[in-house]
Chains A and B, each alone.
Chain A
């Protein structure tokens, strides 16, 4: 923690008569889950370093409604969506970045129908664009030569066909990107999607996150990279269950980049 975080809110910006270039949608996991909060902070440190003029909604942010919708509660989803759209429109938001593929998918694909159309990007896409524009440089640092495998989050990969941005970022770390047997469009779910995160699984002979973690471990990685707070939780649990937490770390792509720069 070299410097303190600068995290302006939309309300503060508006009071100053400013408009950020992008709204960082933190999401419920990123706000409340202890593990995911670290991802949030890592991403903010990169944004601060790259001098990105961003803002968060803070206490004005509320669940996108994704888990309610996937659970079948369309009422609750649309109420959340319309409340959020009113907030976005009140601040004249144009562009949104988020570190959660579920929030990303919902705001990008399901809000336009309800009157909220914005440019929505996943944080790996945003970081990639910072890199392309020369606003951010990535060096390997501590990850040079490490074996890193990337787990495709369903709502980033199959759902929205974003496969390359996270991989290109990992390769910039001079790390060895190794693929699991099932990756990209064939990637196996971590088991948390569709509101499964919030309930016990149905009766079966194995938990889905175990199946996926074993596959990840089969690729002999030093690090399992994720791009989703839910996947992160599921895979972290899986690694612990396999007693591998000493050797294999589960990290978000934003954390990899922040750590590589010693941010």
Chain B
């Protein structure tokens, strides 16, 4: 019986982690479809940024109440991983609370900490559920979330509740059994865990030994299976941020927000244009593998790898959209939707590659137009409010800019007034039609 249970445990573990690895590889491959980008410089600054923003959740705390509740879930999640190590050892070797003997008082402290944090997490989860579904917080109830995104968010919260209930069923019943001296842990007494020492006798105290043993196993296996389910659910969900927030903040932009990148391909052309010694007829060295460079982005493959990582990391919290001046005033643009659509398109491209044995077959669609419309792109004021707001430093703005670049430099599809503005700059070095020779006239005007 014990062997059967160990085999089942190992089989589930291998299947769970194996499946996750397959999907994680897909995510990695999809991100790698993007353009390479240099973001491994300034290593120590990046580490510091990751520790502060992802590990320390610094940016969450601009809104203290949700930040504290979110932190409770986060802390509970992190600390529970320690208990998970014990579950793995117990599961494989058929032991029971293997760490209790050797760790002694520290074990009681750790499990108590997990229990206290779990209660905090449960409270937070219930608050988040009611904020989403009863209080109808605007940014969490926008039209763009109808369907899967809304269901996804609720499912995650419900899974968290189930997980916490499993933990208390497991510890509570074990406490009740230990009180009777019937626990798989030798001896009789109380585990003295902060919460379950009360829940145990109060909730489960009246049950028979047999029922308790069954419930204890349900809690234990439930906890373990929920962890595996959750792990594999991530791939299909917006919840990947619990893993990707870390690389996402590591690779985040460290420059001032106002600094937009200068396209290198353009720099070379402009330098050539402005160099009086350049020979315009000199034939460039023939390179058979050279791909004609494309300016800006019309599809996910034109975006860089950090932008694609951004898309997978987005939790759809909508803080960006809630501060976007265009969105606030009723324009079609929503920075959150830019990220969601980028991910949707990237997933579609990934599936295309899967079904076509490793190569992408043209599907007649692009991120531009089929997912994101020029109307959305042109509504942006580049004010950086969305970037400033994002708790994990995603930049919807950089995607908007790259797509504008495609519209303007590849398609000459700028709104008419902007074409006029650009023509003026070209002709007379000002966005309006004033002669450059008149630039100092203000000095003598009254």
Instruction: List A residues at the B interface (Cβ < 8 Å).
Output: 1, 5, 7, 9, 26, 28, 30-32, 37, 40-41, 56, 58-59, 61-63, 65, 67-80, 82-83, 105, 108-110, 113-114, 154-155, 158-161, 185-186, 188-189, 191-208, 210-212
The answer for the CA separation of A42 and B257 in the assembled complex, in Å, is: 30
> B64 CB to closest chain A CB, in angstroms?
14
B129 within 8 A of A: no
Option from A28, A37, A62, A199 in Cβ contact (under 8 Å) with B415: A199
Question: In the complex, what's the smallest C-beta–C-beta distance from A195 to chain B, in angstroms?
Answer: 6
Please tell me which stretch of B66-74, B209-217, B401-409 contacts chain A, meaning at least 4 of its Cβ atoms lie within 8 angstroms of it.
B401-409
The reply to whether B408 and A189 contact each other, CB–CB distance below 8 Å, is no
Using CB atoms, name the residue of chain B closest to A185: B388
The 6 closest A-B pairs by CB, nearest first: A159-B258, A62-B429, A194-B382, A205-B330, A72-B404, A204-B330
- B431, A74: Cβ atoms closer than 8 Å: no
**Bound CA–CA A53/B41 (angstroms):** 40
B378: chain A residues within 8 A (beta carbon):
199, 202
Q: Is B338 interfacial (CB 8 A cutoff)?
A: no
Given A63-B425, A71-B421, A80-B429, are A160 and B330 neighbors across the interface (CB < 8 Å)? no
Stretch at the interface among B103-111, B220-228, B232-240, B261-269: B261-269
The answer to whether B431 and A198 touch across the interface, beta carbons within 8 angstroms, is yes
Q: Number of contacting residues on B, CB 8 A? A: 68
Q: How far is the CB of B134 from chain A (nearest CB, A)?
A: 26
Pairwise interchain contact B415-A109, C-beta atoms closer than 8 A: no
| Neighbouring B residues of A109 by C-beta, 8 Å | 255-256, 258-259
Against A, the Cβ 8 Å flags (1 = close, 0 = not) of B401-427 are 100111111000011011011100110
List 11 contacting pairs A-B, 8 Å CB cutoff, sorted by A.
A59-B439, A62-B430, A67-B421, A71-B418, A77-B262, A186-B385, A189-B385, A192-B381, A195-B421, A202-B332, A206-B329
A76 near B426 with CB under 8 A, answer yes
Q: Does B443 touch A at the CB level, under 8 Å?
A: yes
For A59, A77, A161, A189, the residue with the greatest tally of chain B CB atoms inside 10 Å of its CB is A189
Given contacts A73-B408, A188-B325, A202-B378, could you give 20 more A-B pairs where the C-beta distance is less than 8 Å?
A7-B440, A26-B442, A28-B432, A59-B439, A61-B436, A63-B430, A68-B425, A70-B260, A72-B401, A75-B270, A78-B270, A154-B382, A188-B323, A191-B381, A194-B381, A199-B378, A200-B417, A204-B331, A211-B325, A211-B328
Residues A202 and B375 in contact, CB atoms below 8 Å apart: yes
Q: Once the chains bind, are B417 and A199 in contact (CB under 8 Å)?
A: yes
What separation, in Å, do the CA atoms of A26 and B441 have in the docked complex?
A: 12
How far in angstroms is the closest Cβ of chain B from A77? 8
| Nearest neighbor of A161 in chain B, beta-carbon distance | B256
Tell me whether B143 is interfacial, beta carbon within 8 Å.
Answer: no
How far in angstroms is the closest Cβ of chain B from A79? Answer: 6
